[in-house]
Structure 1
Amino acid sequence: MHARLSAGQDAVTSVEQALAAELAAVPAGSEQAEAAEELGAALLRRASLDDQVAQRRDRHAAELHARIEAVLPGATGAVDTLLEALSSNADALSVRALSDPDVAETLRGIASVLVETELPEVAPHRSGNATRDESTAYRAAAAPSVTEEQLLACLRAQSGPGVTIHRITGLRMLSGGFSKEMLAATVEHSEGSDDIVIRKVAAGRTAHTLGGEFAALAFAWRGGVPVAEPLWLDEQALGTPAFATRKAAGGCLGDVWGPTGPVDREAGTAIAAALARLHSLDTAGLTDAPLPPMVTRREIIAAIEERRDVLDAVSTPSTPFATMFALVLGWLRAHAPADVRDPVLVHGDFGLHNLLLDGTKLTAVLDWERAHLGHPAEDLTYLRPSIEPVLGWEGFLEAYQAAGGKPPDADRLTFYTVWHDIWRGISAYRMRAKFLADPSRISDAMAGLLMSPRFLLRAVRTAFHL
């Protein structure tokens, strides 16, 4: 059923519908309306390019046929048939490429043609000065999903003995990712007042990982990693599972692409120390985590196959980007590293967009929904785009090792660089399919149309040395 989600309607029509709904929800002529129109222009351009992918494939049909036939003799038919054959054989071809330079070079050539065909005008990863990015900058108009009365009842049920909760003020939505909602509020009680943050599963989203996320957060708190103090977890009080933390000072100075403002070098050193601290913790005390471990090679391959299942559920070989994703998944499977000797708690989403900085002090590492047992190189490669403009990569590694972190292995760094981009790229790609089937959320369009192709482009370039 899900395999045809992406074929619901063309991307341009979906964007036009979502943009009209978003503009109707904000005051005409306001800054929010201007920002929505600016975002809409970027989405419409990307959607138009995606809708024209079949024509671009036809223009490259002869070249694709020649290159694909070189590694799959006898492959014939229309472009979609060739791409289906390529996707089906991506694993076997990636294994052959390990020992056959000719196959490796041909796959590199195919990847290069597909980048030109599928990803024209995709902006590369930000590497220089901080700039506003359309894929992350816009905040959709949204009201809190719970009322002050509902939150008040929940907090009264969670309050300790002798503490009386009087009222809730300042309830508002925060930016909290795509699968979770973030609410902030001030709680006035018999002993004073506290600013808290509620992390809540969004309606219709998967709820089973929140308990593991809270467990990982609490484990990091006990271990001295700078995180927001965990307060309580409740599975039902707010309609969906939710937990509360004390609000930490500071703000985020980056998005998923890197810094969005100046970040002091001293802050970069504090980030290195916090990551080294996390990776030094004895995981024997960890009771749960939101994601399965990636410790053995079998578990790493299982994680790759989970991504393949997600891809297959929302695409066909003719869907834009699908064959490129399949090629990179094949590369990942062929290059999966050996078992991790000394597994650590990996945050999994350790970037400036999830770090609160108060001046040069790192006050909290946020969003533990991808935490799991694995290799330290996972967090290092994820963080690299954020931290490289601040300290330089070698400078950061020196600070990380000075704080107790172990030197990373070059091959694992390459593998996990590709892994993170493909994980995020396919997650965003699923939102693309959801958006085309139901264009009701502009955030789904931002992820699916603007973010997914950029993650994919970076993964392809790293894996195939483009």
Structure 2
Amino acid sequence: MRSTDPAEVGERIAARLSATRGHPVTLRKARVLPAGASRTTYAVTIGDDRGDRGDEAIIVRAAPAAEPGAGGLRSEVDVLRAALEAGVPVPEVLDLSDSSDEDSVLGFPYAVMRFVDGESIARRILRDDAYGLIRADFARQAGTALGRIHAMESSSTGLEHTGDPIEALHTLFGREYADAPAGLVLAVDWLDRHRPAAAPTDTVVHGDFRLGNLLITPDRISAVLDWELAHLGDPMEDLGWLCTKAWRFGVPRPVAGMGSRADLLDAYAQVAGWRPTEDTLRWWELYATVRWGLICGAQANRYLDGTERSMELAAIGRRSAEQEFDALLALGITTPTPIPDPLDTDRPAGTVDEDPHTAPALLDLLESLSGFLSDEVAADGGISPQVRFRTRVAGNVLSTVRRQVLLGPRQAEASRRRLADIGVHSSTELADKLRSGALSGADEAVRAVVAAEVVDRLTVANPRHLSQPDC
């Protein structure tokens, strides 16, 4: 019988470990961690009552929505074991059930891993004084870890090759690739025309090597997590993903906001035996920007299609504008554009027609809700980290709505005028004509329109992003 209740999950895992270890294991506590969309992660503490052994912290990675045998956890565990053998810092796997046998004590696929200490929240790693030492050494340690990942023995992992990188975008994100906005269309065209030389050999690729999927202590990378996107391919994909602007979180240093490309590549070369060029790394950074933009669209489509009614998935769709802007920065089509948040300026009179409604006006009502979320809900010290995180997401969604109410009519009229000047009638038609070649991405007038459209979208979605430089 399936149960996702943390206490029930903990009890069943404790009973399972009692059987495999041959002595009683007792559940102390269990909770759900705020991580993952397709997987649920439980932090469980168990007790071993034999003598002075004390409590043991473990992690249960589970796929509650998957049928036995369909969770993908067995392949992920195979990769983890190969990574451990290669000297990559990863959690030790204690138990696994990804099949329909009697070991499926939860009724769905799961893996039990030994807890590894470390922080994964980027804003703490990048800003707290406690992590000053690792920030100075992160690029070197990341290069070493990636070198070891790419030296892994792949034959035991069962991983598949993704093929040509640009074709892989089309294959993995067919709908989003076909509907990509103009900024990403320009980036894909540039990537296709400026392909770098391939790496000396294809390797295991982690697929999501970034802050958030690493555990960090004050002096080291203690674990590489979340191997569910691992595959075979060009190892430069991992280095580019780590360095892409999205994972710097506003800090102007290229390696996850903490180091230089040269330090990363030097450390990587010591393990891998070859040193990629910085030009090749920058190509893969732009590739990662496009990939993340398509992922934003794919996650939003899960919400729009009714697959998963999640506010977080709905919200992330608007983040595609950040990736468009970053792609245009990398291509030299635009520059950092500091724009004050429209919500911080005085609202012009008559922005929204309020008739026949009475005061407060629509924007005043939205502002009051925003204040409630930030000043009351998020400030409540008694709420869980999960609720606090979702409250921040809700606040960001509400701010986007308020900006669009404030600016939408004027932006729509400005968009119609500039699109008409280059002979198109919508942003969708602009992207389609760039994709087909009916409009040239080298035309300065076209590039200016693409940039202006992206700036307007980002002014509504996240105006602070407009001032962040590339580096």
Compute the TM-score of the two structures, normalised by the length of structure 1.
0.58
**Could you give the per-residue CA deviations for residues 109-168 of structure 1, whole angstroms, max 9, x where no partner exists?**
xxxxxxxxxxxxxxxxxxxxxxxxxxxxxxxxxxx9344334433453355655334432
Aligned to 1:219: 82
Classify the secondary structure of the residue corresponding to 1:390.
Answer: coil
Distance in 1, Cα, partners of 2:107 & 2:167: 32
Amino acid corresponding to residue 126 of structure 2 in structure 1: P
Of the candidates 413, 434, 445, which is equivalent to residue 314 of structure 2? 445
Contact kept in structure 1, 2:88 and 2:145, CA below 8 Å: yes
Mapped partners of 2:191, 2:107: distance in 1? 39
1:184 corresponding residue in structure 2? 43
Contact preservation (8 Å) 1:201, 1:241: yes
Q: Which moved more, 1:453-462 or 1:394-403?
A: 394-403
Q: 1:324 to 1:159 in 2, by over 3 A?
A: farther
CA distance in 2, matches of 1:258, 1:323: 34
What do the CA deviations read for 1:246-278 (whole angstroms, capped 9, x no partner)? 1111212416x9935454244552553354244
Does residue 375 of structure 1 match 2:234?
Answer: yes
Equivalent position of 1:299 in the other structure: 164
- Residue 228 of structure 1 is matched in structure 2 by 91
SS at match of 2:11: helix
Evaluate the alpha carbon distance shift between residue 219 and residue 268 of structure 1 in structure 2; reply closer, same or farther with a 3 A threshold: farther
Distance 1:284 1:198 in 2: 26
Structure 1 residue 324: Cα displacement: 3.8
Distance 2:58 2:222 in 1: 15
Shift of 1:185: 0.6
Distance (Å, rounded) in 1 between the aligned partners of 2:45 and 2:323: 37
Q: Which moved further from structure 2: 144-153 or 180-189?
A: 144-153
Question: Cα offset for 1:303?
Answer: 1.1
1:465 CA displacement: 4.7
Amino acid at match of 2:170: E
The Cα of 1:196 is off from its aligned counterpart by 0.7
Instruction: Quote the residue 1:242 is aligned against.
Output: 110
Q: Counterpart amino acid of 1:288?
A: T
Quote the Cα distance in structure 2 between the aligned partners of 1:170 and 1:427: 35
Task: Give the drift of 1:171.
Answer: 1.2
Q: Secondary structure at the match of 2:58?
A: strand
Conserved 8 A contact 1:279-1:344: no
More displaced 10-residue stretch of structure 1: 147-156 or 199-208: 199-208
Count of matched residue pairs: 311
Q: Hey, what's the Cα distance between the residues in 2 that align with 1:331 and 1:375?
A: 19
Q: Aligned-pair distance for 1:370?
A: 2.1
Q: Could you say what secondary structure the match of 2:204 adopts?
A: strand
Structure 2 counterpart of 1:218, one-letter code: R
Q: Within 2, Cα distance between the matches of 1:200 and 1:152?
A: 15
**Structure 1 residues 158 and 167 mapped into 2: Cα distance closer, same or farther (>3 Å)?**
closer
Query: 1:7-48: CA deviations, max 9, x gaps?
Result: xxxxxxxxxxxxxxxxxxxxxxxxxxxxxxxxxxxxxxxxxx
Matched AA of 1:305: H
- Per-residue CA shift, 1:369-425, capped at 9, x if unaligned? 222223332222222254364233334434444566632134432331122122222
* Distance (whole Å) between structure 2 residues aligned to residue 419 and residue 198 of structure 1: 33
Question: 1:16 is matched with which residue?
Answer: none
1:421 aligns with 2:274: no
- Is 2:181 the partner of 1:322? yes
Q: Deviations over 1:180-235 (max 9, x none)?
A: 22111112235543211112225379955433222222211122111122222211
Contact 1:250/1:357, CA 8 A, preserved across alignment: yes
For 1:344 and 1:162, the matched residues in 2 are separated by: 36
Match of 2:65 in 1: 203
1:284–1:180 Cα change, 3 Å: same
Structure with the bigger RCO (C-alpha within 8 Å, sep 6+) is 1
Match of 1:355 in 2: 214
SS in 1 for 2:262: helix
Higher Rg: 2
The one-letter code sitting in structure 1 at the alignment partner of 2:40 is: E
CA–CA distance in 1 between the matches of 2:39 and 2:20? 30
Code of the aligned partner of 2:303: F
Q: Alignment identity in percent?
A: 24
CA distance, structure 2, for counterparts of residue 161 and residue 181 of structure 1: 23
Cα RMSD for the two superposed structures: 3.4
**1:170: which partner in 2?**
29
- What SS does the aligned partner of 1:284 have? coil
Q: Distance in 2 between matches of 1:330 and 1:258?
A: 35
How many Å separate the matches in 1 of 2:21 and 2:303? Answer: 48
Which secondary structure state, in structure 1, belongs to the residue aligned with residue 212 of structure 2?
Answer: helix
Structure 1 distance, partners of 2:203, 2:182, is: 34
> How big is each residue's C-alpha offset from its partner over 1:59-91, in whole Å with a ceiling of 9 and x where there is no partner?
xxxxxxxxxxxxxxxxxxxxxxxxxxxxxxxxx
Match of 2:31, SS state, is: strand
Q: Secondary structure of 1:352's partner?
A: coil
Provide closer, same or farther for how the CA distance between residues 155 and 424 of structure 1 changes in structure 2, counting only shifts above 3 A.
farther
SS at match of 1:269: helix
